[in-house]
Structure 1
Amino acid sequence: MRFTLLLSGCLWLVLLSIDGHADEDVKANITRGLQSLLPDMKITAITPSPVQNIYQVMMGPDIVYMTGDGRYLLKGDLLDLQDRRNLSEEGRSVARLDILKNIPERDLIEFAPEKTEHAIYVFTDVDCSYCQRLHRDVPELNKNGVAVRYLAFPRAGIDSKAYRDMVAVWCAGDRHQALTDAKNGKPVAYRQCDNPVKQQYQIGQSLGIRGTPAIFLENGTELPGYMSPEKLVSLIRG
């Protein structure tokens, strides 16, 4: 479980609300029980699950289940075998979408078609070969009405060359061209400015990203890495 949620203060203001569907005693019991184990953890929602006296507890995009008295904690996915649904993944998708939708548009590098029908969020690294391959697919995705919204995720961390390269991209006068150049192995003049690269890297960590490209659909669903534009468009359109 990823208990370290490194979201910025503005995002926490959006997320920090405990759902009113669980009664106050239950919320108090669960909060007390969980914080006795993880005192710094921030609970973002407590809602009843379909199982009697079992509650879904969300901490950003992380989910656990607890009994109403706050004594027992269950870790794992809750599956509805009758309807063939992963209820936990549905909850995580909603939480991921809340996070992604509250990232300011000015902090994204978006490659959009003339008429956007769908959009994907892509955490990218300029040194990642599959990220470079996906970037070459952007014109085909745009042709199919799909906007690509890039966020920075230098896999080697914030002390790496990739991090400095991505700062240079986000600080460039023409960020679209700078990102394309960087992904094609061309040097981008280093600049410093007030930039979101570190914050986006931390958001990616909170979402559990381990590799790139990390692709998220408009409903918060996470896709398993690179795929061909044909397959990606098919998944987007459902």
Structure 2
Amino acid sequence: MSYNNDSLHTQSSFIIDEHHINTTLLPLSQAIKYVKGSGKRTIYEFSDPDCPFCEELEQLLLNINDLTIYLFLFPVTEIHPNAEFRANQIWNAKDRYAAWENYMLYRTAPDTSGDGENTPIEQNIALGRQLEITGTPTFFLENGFRVEGVLPAEDIERLLYQAE
């Protein structure tokens, strides 16, 4: 696997401090966008389709409204060897977010005829490394605050409120 970082920003331009990044520099074209309700609050989520903790986060996000989610498919192949294949399938699905949600919530394989070519998965892996993401799920609030792992829904709501 090779990584082309030419189009990515340098690590120092992304990272503000150990707990924050500059979210305005994220390449949103490499993410799956989903808007719930008004979408007035935003998270930038890095998740692995075969990660049980990412599955738990997806369950929690079902109950959080007025949210825009930018989902960066970020397979951690060292732990989940088939995750990159699955991430490519999800990216090539007609409705990417529905394919993600159906796989994460019901383990329904994405309906796709795509072969995984021309997906941003390798760029997302490189981006995650630049952002020093070491585990999934990791997400960032609109103000760039980093959240690692799974939190109770009420804590996520509180963080979203504070980031507004």
Structure 1 and Structure 2 fold alike (TM over 0.5): yes
Q: Is the 8 A contact 1:7 1:203 kept in 2?
A: no
* Corresponding residue for residue 52 of structure 1: none
Greater RCO, CA 8 A, separation 6+: 2
1:11 matched residue in structure 2: 8
Could you say which residue in structure 2 is the equivalent of 1:29? none
Give runs of ≥4 in structure 1 deviating > 6 Å.
none
Task: Show the counterpart of 1:156.
Answer: 77
* Alignment deviations for residues 109-135 of structure 1 (CA, whole Å, 9 cap, x no partner): 222123122100110011111111111
Q: What does residue 50 of structure 2 align with?
A: 127
Partner of 2:31: 108
TM-score (norm: length of structure 2):
0.82
CA distance in 2, matches of 1:62, 1:212: 18
Choose the corresponding residue for 1:175, options 96, 99, 102: 96
Q: Secondary structure at the match of 1:110?
A: strand
Alignment CA distance shift 1:131-1:122 (3 Å): same
CA distance in 2, matches of 1:171, 1:161: 16
**Number of residue pairs matched by the alignment:** 156
Q: TM-score, normalised by structure 1?
A: 0.58
Cα distance in 1, alignment partners of residues 151 and 69 from structure 2: 14
Larger-Rg structure: 1
1:23 is matched with none
Q: Percent identity?
A: 24
Q: Find 2:143's aligned residue among 190, 212, 219.
A: 219
AA matched with 2:72: L
Please state how far the C-alpha of 1:162 moved relative to its aligned partner.
0.6
Distance 2:111 2:43 in 1: 28
Aligned to 2:153: 229
Is 1:93 equivalent to 2:20 in the alignment?
yes
Give the Å deviation of 1:233. 1.0
Q: Residues 7 and 217 from structure 1, CA distance in 2 versus in 1: closer, same or farther, beyond 3 angstroms?
A: farther
- Root-mean-square deviation (Å): 2.4
Gaps in structure 1 of 5+ consecutive residues: 1-5, 16-57, 64-87
Q: Deviations over 1:161-199 (max 9, x none)?
A: 110110000011111221122213222246224211110
Unaligned runs of 5+ in 2: none
